[in-house]
Structure 1
Amino acid sequence: MLSNKIKVLLVDDDPVARRSVELRLARYKKRTSFDIVNADSMKTCIEHLKQNSFDIILLDLGLPDSGGLETISRVRSVCATTPTIVLTNNLDAELDIQAIKEGASDYLRKDQIEGDTLFRTIRYALERHEIRQQLRDERDRTLSYLDQAGAIFLAMDTEGKITLINKVGAELLGTEQSEIIGTNWFERFIPRNEQPEKQRIFDEMLQGNIGNFEQFECPVVTVDNEKKTIAWSHSLLKDEAGEINGVLSVGTDITLVRETERQIQEHNRLKSEFVVTITHELRTPLTIFRNVISNALAGVCGKISKKLRRDLEAANEAVDRLANIISDFLDMSRIEAGKMKLELDAVPVKSLINESMRTLEVVLGENNMSQDIILPDEDIYVLADAGKVKQVITNLVDNAAKFVPDCGGKVTLRVVDQNEHVKICVEDNGPGIEQKDTEKVFDKFVQVEKHVGEGTHGTGLGLAICKELVEMHGGRIWVENTESGGACFSFVLPKYEKEKQESEVAEQIDFIRSQIDQIADLCFGTTKNMNKRSHH
């Protein structure tokens, strides 16, 4: 909205021209009062600008001590924000356009200042200035919010030149905002080996071939040659006509996060290597102990007393328990190192369950436990590594044996066909698990205190290994309490449907054959056609 009083700096060495402007603006004194200060040279102009503030500048480019575009530059260097209208007798339209590019708000030919032209031009210049100021204020508020949030705010034009960067971004790059504006982002801040790929992605975005990115990570190099990792989100900037004219990026410095992750990975690698080394070193003496104890129990070393036999049997159980602990550590180390491989095949669930339970007869017998197996009428198959699934079932039943009552303990295995998956449940009649513990029981080295009696503590790796093995199959595992109070561990595996699998394989074969035929037609068919044309 135009103010009732406007302070004008009129810069022109021609007193007649100055008087003409004053008379034209005086016509509007009922609506707007113009307070005009005159200057007849660049020197006087700059003195006025340094001593006073003005709402608008009317500037002649042909002054005694300054001429052409230099006049605009000198005024803008002293007062960059005040709107400036160029008054000129020059007939060169290109010069007028260049004046606008140098920062002028508008230009008027002196011989065309008629009627309301000058007043309207001043009004439009002030209105545009007010709108721009509002936009700058809004931008500054936005940048302030982003600075407080610690985010990097970056805008680039279609050439990759930086048009805007906030304080946080400049500080991260180790320089001032004014030093960055106008520089090429890729040439200055992207590592040399990354520049071609990042430039290619940028060009694809500008062509509209790539949409907005979410959390696109990119390394940057600061002015001190320090490498940072930034997670960016990008969006395209468009002009009023809808044409893409740049890219707006908001980034977060995740250098510390990635470095922490790297250190954790290295720590885990060293830990896994240490565990593997120690467990391998322990296996050799354990094998020797087991052989010695086995020979002694078999009477190879002569007749032994009843007391010594009891001691040797206890020692043998301790060796077995230690061997199982070592096996658990080795399995978990292989899983963490990505060295645990699956040999997938179509496995019948009935035989899988029955074989698993046969190997557990000793455990069930030692704990006075009964078993109940509930299977579907028709046999179903899972796509799985039979040995690894047996290990999961064994661990779950062995875990249940620790918590059931000494008398009347029971474990139930139930198999449920769920169309695309098969669910296997291991249910016990123990005390169950508190709700707060149902998630963490699958964490490494976690042991939930829910034993009936003294119980037997393990390594806390059994259920963690179960979770890893099931997820490697593309399944999931969970635990919940039954209505009777016991715990029910359930896991699902992908179902193998022979007809469906064979059909998919057949479709793939047909597709490959069709592709081969098309290539053959393209190659040999084209050759034949060329041969035919050559004979004519």
Structure 2
Amino acid sequence: MPQTQVMIVEDERIVAEDIRRSLQKLGYGVSSIVSSGEKAIDEVKENPPDLVLMDIVLKGKMDGIEAAGYIRSHFNIPVVYLTAYLDDIVLERAKITEPFGYIIKPFNERELHINIEIALYRHKIEKELKESRKWFSTTLKNIGDAVIATDPKDHIIFMNPAARSLTGWNIGDKPDKSGKPLKGEIELICRDGTKRLIEECRAPNMDEKGNIIGSVIIFRDITERRKIEEIHLENKLLMYANKLKSEFLAIMSHDIRTPLTSILGFSQLLKQKKTGELNAKQEHYVDNILSSGKFLLDLINDILDLSKIEAEKMELDIDQMCLEKSITEIFGILREQAEKHNITMINNIEPGLDFIRADERRFKQVLFNLLSNALKFSKEDGGVIKLSARKEGNMVRFSVSDTGIGIKEEELGKLFDKFKHLNSGYVRNNKGTGLGLVISKKLVELHGGEITVESKYGQGSIFTFTIPINEILY
């Protein structure tokens, strides 16, 4: 353990030497001996000791009390006064410098030793207390929780920045709470009248006799956390309700599709006159049955597909498929309708792009939806619909462009909403289910791609979808 170093400030040389011998005999080191307050300050700057023995009456402009005050405030070194007398005036001056002891001359070694040890111990405790307070203060200032201390009448006597920021209260205010626990929480009323949910921990503050002199309150704002938890709960309930809805629709649609298929089958027999000739009115009725039945069947099939997707029960059958063959089939289905309305359909596939890996049935479903949608929104005097396919980066990009009526800008955001029919002026046939684009988007996303649309009202639209390149075979 290093030796404690003491500086002696004494203007009488013989007395100073006597003190030095006593200190060394007691096991202390003497860092220096100076005879004035000015020299004491200079020496402390150059060679700071652990303790200063300071004579009060010194030669020069600065006496021991002034020098001790400077050393105490600037260097935080404990000072013990040495003096032959101590009247009330000198004592009051000395007390201001917060000395660590007084030794009255003449003194013996035991008195010197006791005073020095007490001074050193007190200084050590004060230093630790100061550091502890600094740490405590820093912690209180920087923690996210609000901390408030109150007096016996519940008025605030201390609050950290977090408490001030949250509540808007000031020292002297009385905390305002509703007093009604809300599921284990407390509703706090801020200074501006706003209400916050808090978790509170309160402990009594007691004096040395055990009397309660106030309380310390630590609380945390949980308003946003509760809102997030409520949103998460609502989302779970919505997801569950959506799942139940999808399952119900799937069951209902399946039960309806079976008898509907029979109705369409028998209607087709009537249409083909398998059961006998029909007059014009009967043929009209049968056509209406077939048209309405097909629409209802398409709607049921779309609902079933959407229900499977939303219930995460849609499984893709990914395999190698011939791109040209699939496109030719879809074009063949739609060509008669296109020619009837003077619409030219163009197939523009990048050379060499013969095969891809995808769910062929679902791929053709997407393609059919986009191409039939383009036909539906074509102009009265005809137009052009073009399908393009090309390799682009790590994707194959498919585009369906048309020269139709286009889509109004304010309608674009609603394009992929369920059961949404756009109000874009003339539409050739607006008997769609309103689910085709929604299902197409979800099917493309299940393949790992995305679908986008560009449109200019009065000029046409371009629907683009992608399939990841790692599914492509050449």
Give the TM-score, by structure 2 length.
Answer: 0.59
Partner Cα distance (1:499, 1:292) in 2: 44
In structure 2, the partner of 1:268 is 242
**Paired residues of 1:412 and 1:426 also in contact (CA < 8 A):** yes
Q: 1:117 to 1:429 in 2, by over 3 A?
A: same
2:415 partner SS: helix
Q: 1:439 to 1:121 in 2, by over 3 A?
A: same
Q: What is the one-letter code of the residue matched to 2:137?
A: Q
Moved more, 425-434 or 303-312: 303-312
Q: 1:363 to 1:339 in 2, by over 3 A?
A: farther
Deviation at 1:331, TM superposition (A): 0.7
Partner Cα distance (1:31, 1:351) in 2: 106
Report Cα offsets for 1:393-426 as digits up to 9, x if no partner. Answer: 0011111122111221331111122132111111
The alignment yields a C-alpha RMSD, in angstroms, of 4.5
In structure 1, the partner of 2:321 is 347
The structure 1 residue matched to 2:137, chosen from 127, 133, 137, is 133
Deviation at 1:29, TM superposition (A): 5.8
In structure 2, the partner of 1:364 is 338
In structure 1, the partner of 2:46 is none
Q: Does residue 176 of the first structure (1) align with residue 181 of the second (2)?
A: no
In structure 2, the partner of 1:297 is 271
Partner Cα distance (2:226, 2:305) in 1: 38
Partner Cα distance (2:472, 2:138) in 1: 69
Q: What is the one-letter code of the residue matched to 2:117?
A: Q
Partner Cα distance (1:28, 1:421) in 2: 91
Q: 1:357 to 1:30 in 2, by over 3 A?
A: farther
2:469 partner SS: strand
**Paired residues of 1:433 and 1:481 also in contact (CA < 8 A):** yes
Q: 1:31 to 1:137 in 2, by over 3 A?
A: farther
1:492 partner SS: strand
In structure 2, the partner of 1:473 is 447
The structure 2 residue matched to 1:326, chosen from 281, 300, 306, is 300
1:480 partner SS: strand
Deviation at 1:286, TM superposition (A): 1.6
Partner Cα distance (2:436, 2:330) in 1: 16
Spell out the pairing of 1:20-169 with structure 2 (5 A cutoff). Answer: 30=93, 33=96, 112-114=117-119, 118=122, 122=126, 125-126=129-130, 129=133, 132-133=136-137, 135-139=139-143, 140=146, 141=160, 143-144=162-163
Partner Cα distance (2:445, 2:199) in 1: 45
**Paired residues of 1:430 and 1:486 also in contact (CA < 8 A):** yes
Deviation at 1:354, TM superposition (A): 1.7
Partner Cα distance (2:303, 2:164) in 1: 50
Q: 1:285 to 1:366 in 2, by over 3 A?
A: farther
1:442 partner SS: coil
Report Cα offsets for 1:170-189 as digits up to 9, x if no partner. Answer: x989763559xxxxxxxxxx
**Paired residues of 2:257 and 2:297 also in contact (CA < 8 A):** yes
The structure 1 residue matched to 2:468, chosen from 474, 494, 506, is 494
**Paired residues of 2:356 and 2:472 also in contact (CA < 8 A):** no
Q: What is the one-letter code of the residue matched to 2:303?
A: F
In structure 2, the partner of 1:278 is 252
Q: Does residue 393 of the first structure (1) align with residue 367 of the second (2)?
A: yes
> Larger Rg: 1 or 2?
2
Deviation at 1:462, TM superposition (A): 0.6
Q: 1:489 to 1:388 in 2, by over 3 A?
A: same
Report Cα offsets for 1:196-247 as digits up to 9, x if no partner. Answer: xxxxxxxxxxxxxxxxxxxxxxxxxxxxxxxxxx9xxxxxxxxxxxxxxxxx
Q: 1:372 to 1:136 in 2, by over 3 A?
A: same
Q: 1:320 to 1:172 in 2, by over 3 A?
A: same
Partner Cα distance (1:483, 1:440) in 2: 15
Q: 1:476 to 1:136 in 2, by over 3 A?
A: same
Report Cα offsets for 1:284-321 as digits up to 9, x if no partner. Answer: 33222212211212222221113322332232122111
Question: Percent identity of the aligned residues?
Answer: 26
In structure 2, the partner of 1:458 is 432
Deviation at 1:365, TM superposition (A): 4.1
The structure 2 residue matched to 1:255, chosen from 216, 225, 229, is 229
Partner Cα distance (1:476, 1:306) in 2: 48
Give unmatched runs, 5+ long, in structure 2. 1-68, 71-82, 102-112, 147-159, 169-184, 189-195, 205-221
**Paired residues of 1:395 and 1:462 also in contact (CA < 8 A):** yes
Partner Cα distance (2:164, 2:379) in 1: 62
Partner Cα distance (1:475, 1:342) in 2: 14
Deviation at 1:457, TM superposition (A): 3.7
Partner Cα distance (2:285, 2:251) in 1: 30
**Paired residues of 1:415 and 1:423 also in contact (CA < 8 A):** yes
Deviation at 1:34, TM superposition (A): 7.2
How many residues get paired? 330
Give unmatched runs, 5+ long, in structure 1. 5-19, 37-57, 59-107, 150-165, 180-229, 231-249, 501-536
**Paired residues of 2:407 and 2:457 also in contact (CA < 8 A):** no
Q: What is the one-letter code of the residue matched to 1:436?
A: E
**Paired residues of 2:385 and 2:402 also in contact (CA < 8 A):** yes
In structure 1, the partner of 2:153 is none
Q: What is the one-letter code of the residue matched to 1:176?
A: C
Report Cα offsets for 1:23-50 as digits up to 9, x if no partner. Answer: 8xx98965762799xxxxxxxxxxxxxx
Deviation at 1:256, TM superposition (A): 1.5
Deviation at 1:342, TM superposition (A): 0.4
Partner Cα distance (2:366, 2:117) in 1: 92
Q: What is the one-letter code of the residue matched to 2:232?
A: R
**Paired residues of 1:368 and 1:409 also in contact (CA < 8 A):** yes
Q: What is the one-letter code of the residue matched to 2:201?
A: E
